Structure 1
Amino acid sequence: MGDLSPIAFDIETSGLDSDAVVTVAGLAHELGEVLILNTEGRTASQQKLERVLTESSGGRIELTVTDNEEELLTNLAQIAHSRLDEENHYLTAYHGETWNGGFDLPFVRTACVTHNVDWPFRNIAYADMLDVVDRFDTDDKNDLVGVYKELIGNNSCDPFEDSQSAVRAFEQGDWKDLLLHNLADIQRTRELAVLAGMYVPQSDFRMKNLDPPGD
């Protein structure tokens, strides 16, 4: 959109209950993707997983394995502060945070409060793709997979039919498929953002700055 390059963001969680945690956080940029995995103290081979994920990456894949949600959030904040440049990037997600709801950013915001971790996305513009894709005729589809198939239709590395499968994968320690699911979602979101940047007026992106006013 304009001179800003989209960085797509998506999370997976262990469910929707009050004790649910972030299990994966992913960012897709113009050169590849960054994934952060929370194993909740279980074992995962970073090198083996990176090799598998590289086959489906849009460029260079970077994987960080953490033991808990607090460590995942701390790593996310460090990566976001060092990689997201407000002069060159804007953050996007699909139903990450809209004017009347959203999932990913509110979930992360509450998790940061729980663990007293800094808000990761400071002084960065944000536009939600759910708000932008309604400028296309998507045949009444409004979910990420449906809209992506309608507008782009490329093959995906997603091993799942729905997000509930990602919850089961986390419970079973199926790290490869869990990460591939998140990878597919951030890739789809970024591709939609790039497409929208070619066809949708800048004013329809409804940009907002994610920096809290107290900073």
Structure 2
Amino acid sequence: MPLEQVAFDIETTGFEVDDEVTIVGFAVPLGVRVFAQTGDADGGADGLEASVRERTDEHVVVSSHASETELLQAVGEFVGERVSGEDTLLVAYNGERWRDGFDLPFLRTRLATAGIEWPFRDVPFADVMPVVTRRFNTRVDGEDQSDLVSVYGTLCDGKLNAVDPFAESREAVTAFEDGRFGDLVVHNVADVLRTRQLGRVAERFCAKSEFGVKSLTPTEYG
């Protein structure tokens, strides 16, 4: 029986070691769970969640956190309750390719500097990006496409249960700075839904061995 895929994606204030995680989203079978760093913004989680649900047909649960530390702690609790287990496969798009990737390396640095334990213990992981770009033809107008949006447009129907408000992912930085948390969450929801759908396509057409599943359990754990 195939593992249940849980797609995840993060948003940040930039790419440097002192930049922060602003959003972490997980696409689970019943919908999307999003953790948002909103500081002391008015409205709280209920207002943010309500505004996001008006913009997507997907069931979305949003929690609001005053700081990056609080967000990362909440993510750890969620992963321990919902994601850990041999029947679940955590997937990301460019989450951690060999000698590259973004989401997991960024999270490791932020967790280490904050003194927070690594949450993905006993969690199998696979990066969808190398499976898709190596085992599908993604060449468009003479060029190989590898970014999430382009590959999704090629291999999937192009329809999402959330309309991405950003033309480019880098807009997530200015959205956070401007306090446009609704846009930021909807963008993250769109990305985790794209990742989930690409993971399912790869699962349908590629061998299990192509996924390169690895354990994220740290060496000193257990």
Query: Shared fold by TM > 0.5?
Result: yes
Report deviation, 1:200: 0.6
Partner of 2:158: 154
**Contact 1:94–1:130 under 8 Å retained in 2:** yes
Using the TM superposition, give the Cα deviation of residue 57 of structure 1 relative to its aligned residue in structure 2, in angstroms.
4.7
Structure 1 CA distance, aligned partners of 2:57 and 2:18?
A: 32
Q: 1:71-150 counterparts in 2 under 5 A?
A: 71-133=70-132, 134-139=134-139, 140-150=144-154
Q: Answer yes or no: is the 8 Å Cα contact 2:17–2:109 preserved in 1.
A: no
TM-score, normalised to structure 1, is 0.94
> Does 35-44 or 68-77 show the bigger shift?
35-44
Equivalent residue number for residue 183 of structure 1: 189
1:40 corresponding residue in structure 2: 39
Q: Residue deviations 1:127-167, cap 9 Å, x none?
A: 00111102111111100000000000323421101111110
Q: What residue identity is the alignment partner of 1:40?
A: G
> What displacement does 1:118 show?
1.1
CA distance in 2, matches of 1:85, 1:169: 31
Structure 2 segments unaligned to the other structure (5+ residues):
none
Deviation of 1:13 (Å): 0.3
**TM-score relative to the length of structure 2:** 0.92
> Once the two structures are aligned, what percentage of the paired residues are identical?
39
Residue 86 of structure 1, CA deviation: 2.1
The CA distance in 2 between the partners of 1:124 and 1:47, in whole Å, is 30
Q: Deviations over 1:168-199 (max 9, x none)?
A: 00000001101011000000000110111111
- Deviations 1:81-139 (CA, angstroms, capped at 9, x unpaired): 00014222100101010111111001111111111111111111110011110211111
Aligned residues: 213
| Aligned pairs for 1:36-75 within 5 A | 36-55=35-54, 56-58=56-58, 60-75=59-74
- Aligned-residue offset at 1:50: 1.5
Q: Distance in 2 between matches of 1:44 and 1:72?
A: 17
